[in-house]
Amino acid sequence: MSPWREAWRRFKRHRLAYWSLWVLGLLVLAVLVGPLFYKVGVNEVDFQARLAGPSAAHPMGTDDLGRDMLARMLYGGRISLAVGLAAMLMAITVGVIIGAIAGMARGWVDAALMWVTDLFLSLPQLPLLLLLIFLFRDPLKKTFGLELGIFILIVTVIGGFRWMPVARLVRAQFFSLREKEFVEAARALGASTSRQVVRHILPNSLGPVIVAATIDVAAAIIAESTLSFLGLGFPPDIPTWGRILYDGRDYMDLAVHWAMFPGLAIFLTVLTINFIGDGLRDALDPRRVL
């Protein structure tokens, strides 16, 4: 049995993680395929149905302008999940590169990289996030357009503050793996440093990195929702789950569904991703018996 098949077998034994993977898959499938079947416009206004509760015509109700909540939830889910995945990829890429360089280097290079990592860890993230958004939101909107500019800004800001734990994790893995017998054998056979990293050390350190990636997706979705809830994320005409939740905060007594459905979507997505991360941690740990 291959290592990946063995990991999958161990993952399936973690029931919460296994069923969370199915639930998350259904959520992703719904936001990707749902708009192809549910043809209601995202910004289609119907004043006669404003603040209507869930019904056959509007399964998730409407907002204060009569816009269909299900259509906005499906559209906003694409953006929220895309932000989470893109920010995770950025954080993992930067963290793996810095951690690998620090783990293979010695002396001042390792010290300098860890000093930069500690510097970023010590920065107050939320105030700095708000400052960067205020400084760069308008230039990026002019350069790339409204939606793409805000997307690039939010992904860069969130991903730029999530790479430090990954870098420390990869560095620790490299310190351990570079002294293992199989790496010593590759070094004795004349393998270059880059080949040792790419072919031997990095593949054996991917387990903790994959677990960290699931945590980063959940953290990025929460960060984007927080920024949108504060009114500093995407503009009102671009619905994300956090923005819909922000817009519905003043109507909790009249239309509780307006805030309930995006809040439930965020909660369910983050919860399933965290359960999947727990399952991956157990499945990829060779010392754990399942």
Q: Which pLDDT belongs to residue 285?
A: 66
Q: Classify residue 18 as exposed, middle or buried by CB count within 10 Å of its CB (0-12, 13-18, 19+).
A: middle
Asked if residue 184 belongs to a domain, the reply is yes
pTM value is 0.80
Asked if residue 84 belongs to a domain, the reply is yes
Tally of domains in the chain: 1
The closest of 147, 210, 259, 233 to 3, measured between CA atoms, is 210
| pLDDT above 90 as % of the chain | 2
Asked if residue 212 belongs to a domain, the reply is yes
Asked if residue 140 belongs to a domain, the reply is yes
Q: What's at 279, amino acid-wise?
A: G
Asked if residue 290 belongs to a domain, the reply is no
Can you tell me the distance from the alpha carbon of 52 to that of 45, in angstroms, rounded to the nearest whole number?
Answer: 13
Q: What is the pLDDT of residues 179-229, one digit of tens each?
A: 787 777 877 878 777 787 777 787 777 777 887 888 888 888 888 877 777
Which pLDDT band holds residue 9 (cuts at 50, 70, 90)? confident
163 pLDDT higher than 80: yes
Q: Under a CB-based contact definition with an 8 Å cutoff, are residues 224 and 158 in contact?
A: yes
Which pLDDT band holds residue 22 (cuts at 50, 70, 90)? very high
Tell me the β-bridge partners of 62: 68
Q: Which pLDDT belongs to residue 288?
A: 56
Asked if residue 289 belongs to a domain, the reply is no
Asked if residue 288 belongs to a domain, the reply is no
Distances (CA, A) of 185 to 82, 101, 195, 200, 205: 42, 21, 13, 11, 18
Give the structural domain span for 99.
Answer: 3-283
232 pLDDT higher than 80: no
141 pLDDT higher than 80: no
Distances (CA, A) of 36 to 20, 57, 131: 25, 17, 38
The token pair that represents 164 in the structure block: 């430090």
Can you tell me the distance from the alpha carbon of 60 to that of 38, in angstroms, rounded to the nearest whole number?
Answer: 13
Quick check: helix, strand or coil at residue 63?
coil
Asked if residue 117 belongs to a domain, the reply is yes
Higher-pLDDT residue of 193 and 168 is 168
CATH number, domain with residue 118: 1.10.3720.10
Q: What is the pLDDT of residues 34-76, one digit of tens each?
A: 888 888 888 888 878 888 888 888 888 888 888 888 888 888 8
